[in-house]
Structures are given as structure tokens and as C-alpha cells.
Amino acid sequence: MYYFPFEFTFLRGINTKHMMFVFGAICLAWDAISYREIKFSKELLIASIIAIIFSIVGLISLDYNNTEDYAYAIYIGSMWMWLIACYGACCCIRITHGYISVKLIANYLIAVCLGQCIIALMIDFIPSVKSFVDAIFVTGDRSFMEKVRRLYGIGASLDVAGIRFASTLVITAVLLSEEKEIRTNNKLLIYYIISFILISVMGNMMARTTTVGLGLGLIYIFLRSGIISFTIKMINIHFWRVLLLSLIVLVSIAVYMYQVNREFYGLIRFAFEGFFNWVETGTWETNSTEVLKNMWVFPDNEKTWIIGDGYFNNPITRSFYMGTDVGYLRFIFYCGLIGLSVFILFFIYLSGALSVRFYYIRYLFLLLLVIVFANWVKVATDIFLVYAFFLVISQPYFENYYEEDFEKI
């Protein structure tokens, strides 16, 4: 309900993020009453100040250009809606387990993403499941999904799903690299490795933005394995053995399905289109990258460069303003380099502050920051909802429930 918000067909206009926001507000009020004071961490307060500045820049752009596109001009409101909705999600976890931790949150994210991938395949392969899901849930522009042959889950589709899969993959990579309990427990190790592989493959079938998380996750696992320093521990040798065996089994199944099932054949070729083109033609390219090449449209005047045009979407067609979906350019056209710089600062601050707060997994926030900046080359989606988990569990109200459970680096 939080990570992949969705609407019911019989309750249009209200999605599950709004529901979690209401629940989170109640939980926050209850905690404030219980502690007899309202208090927040300094990381949250400073991040909110930067978000306010970004919103002010957006409002100035709207006022200067006499426009009414409030897409990011009220970002501080959007930020706090995500934050309070996340507070509700974390309270659910706290109530269920009696404690909360990074690993526990990661387990939920892995399960949710894996579940979305499985649901997406069921929707695609089983007509009755598709009919049921389409009847109960608002699943986006179905005609577009069918036209471009894209998988979708419940509230999970296109780049929105891809960037959340990518974030979950780097979190999983950190779990695999730093959590001693997983490394020493064969069942847990196999579960996390198989989950990482399945989300990577099936996630790419839904949105190839997943590849960013796959690449960063593999790089992190490789660097933390000790191969470069030539000091490979036995626990790492065991990890690579399990990883290779899992890959052999899953790749064998995938190759078999690729050969005998036409639907699966098309999904695999879409998921790894760049790889197939590279092998077959010697050129790494996809349909998405070709479309993206024509979207690099730069401002032609100083005013737009500095403060923007005040448009995130075309006011007439409601499509991309200036015909570009490139994240960096959309922010520049909306609020100029000033607004873009403040928004970049927002995520740099979050990554830096949380890497200090959660020092034992500090590299995770560097990976998340890379995902943000890499994603903006293609679309304007941000992943504050992922950062929100760490902001919430670092709040004073969660101090008595939070447990650090990673092996210290």
C-alpha cells in the first residue's frame, strides 16, 4: 500500500498512499501524546528546510512565468505525505514484530517487489487473473500497456516500478554483503540470492530501469567480496559458490522457457534487448535509448536556464513539456538550474546525513544517490519514498524499538 500505491476501481481519486497517510498521521499523533512532546531528528528538519527552499523556487518560477503547474512547487507537501505514509507503514511493522530494523524493512521490500513481479507474470499469462485485477484495481493506461507489450502489477508499472525495483536490489546487495546471519545460513542465503536474481530478471521485463539497480548491486557485491584486495574469506567463497549454483539452475530454466514458450521469449528479449542487440548486431541499443536521443531539447534563452518556464507538463496536451522526458531537462524547464541545484542538494544531503546516522551501511546511500542521478537521465521520478524509511526509523519515537542487526563494517 505504501511502496506501490494503487487505487480501487470503486474508489477513484483515493489511493493507498492517502490511506497510509491517514493511518500514519494517527500513529504520529499517538506517539506524540505518549511521549508528551513533538520531536523530530535534525536530519528530517534540515531536509524539510531544503524541500521548502525547492518549493519556494518552484513557486517563484510559477509566479514569474504566470503559470499554474504545481507539480513540484508544493514538493514539501508531497515529501511530508510520503513521510507520514511511511510512518504508518513502519508502525505496522513495529506493531507486528515488536521491533523495527533495516533488515526487517529490507525483507518487506524484497517480498513486495518479488510479489509484484509474480503478480505481473500471472496477469500476463492467466486471463482470469488479468480480468480480476483489471476489475478491482486501477492499473494505469491498459491500452498503452498492451500496445507496448509491458507487464504491470498492482500499482507497479513502467519506470515507477523500475526505480523501486532498482532501489530494492541495491538494498538486497548490501544485505548479502554485510549481514553475517545471511552469509552463514544456507536457507537465508539461497532465499536472498534467488530473490535478487528473480527481481532482476522479472523486474526488467516490467521496466528496464531495474538494470541500474542490478548493475550497482553486482558491483557492490563484487567489491565487498575481497577479490580486489586478494583477501577472500571462506564465508565469501561459500557465498560465490551458492550464487553460481543458483545462477546455473535459474539460467537453465530461463533458457528452456526461452526456447519453448513464445510469450517468455518475447519478455526475455525485451528485458535484455540491449544485450541481445549487442550479441546479434555488435551495437548496444534499445528502443528506449533511441527514443531518448531525440528528447535532449535544451532551453534557448537565459531566463529558462535560470528560473525555468514554470511548466512540468505541456498545459495543452498534458504530455511532456517541450517533448522531453529527460529528468534533468524537465526540472530545468520547470524551475531552472536554481531549482535543479536545490533538488540535487536535497538528495545529496539525505544521502550524506543518513550515511552518518547509519554508518554501518553507509555505502547504501551512495548507491541510492547514484540511482537518483542515473534515473534522471531518463525520467524525473525520485526515490524519496525509499529514504523515508530511514528517516522514520531514526526518529526519536522509534528509539525504543529500533535494533541494529548488520555486521559492523
Q: What's the one-letter identity of residue 157?
A: S
pLDDT at 359 over 70: yes
Q: Kindly state whether residue 89 falls inside one of the protein's structural domains.
A: yes
Q: Kindly state whether residue 404 falls inside one of the protein's structural domains.
A: no
Q: What's the one-letter identity of residue 338?
A: I
Q: Kindly state whether residue 367 falls inside one of the protein's structural domains.
A: yes
Q: How confident is the model at residue 269 (pLDDT cuts 50, 70, 90)?
A: confident
Q: What's the one-letter identity of residue 176?
A: L
Q: Kindly state whether residue 356 falls inside one of the protein's structural domains.
A: yes
Q: Kindly state whether residue 405 falls inside one of the protein's structural domains.
A: no
52-106 pLDDT, tens digit per residue, is: 999 999 999 999 999 988 888 899 999 999 999 999 999 999 999 999 989 899 9
How many domains, the chain?
1
User: What one-character DSSP code corresponds to residue 36?
Assistant: T
Domain region containing 86: 7-398
Q: Tell the burial category of 399 from Cβ atoms under 10 Å away from its Cβ (0-12, 13-18, 19+).
A: exposed
Let me know: does 289 contact 278? Beta carbons within 8 Å: no
Per the model's pLDDT, the better-predicted residue between 144 and 31 turns out to be 31
Q: Kindly state whether residue 384 falls inside one of the protein's structural domains.
A: yes
pLDDT at 144 over 80: no
Q: Kindly state whether residue 403 falls inside one of the protein's structural domains.
A: no
387-399 pLDDT, tens digit per residue, is: 999 999 988 888 8
- What gap in Å lies between CA 258 and CA 221, rounded to an integer? 28
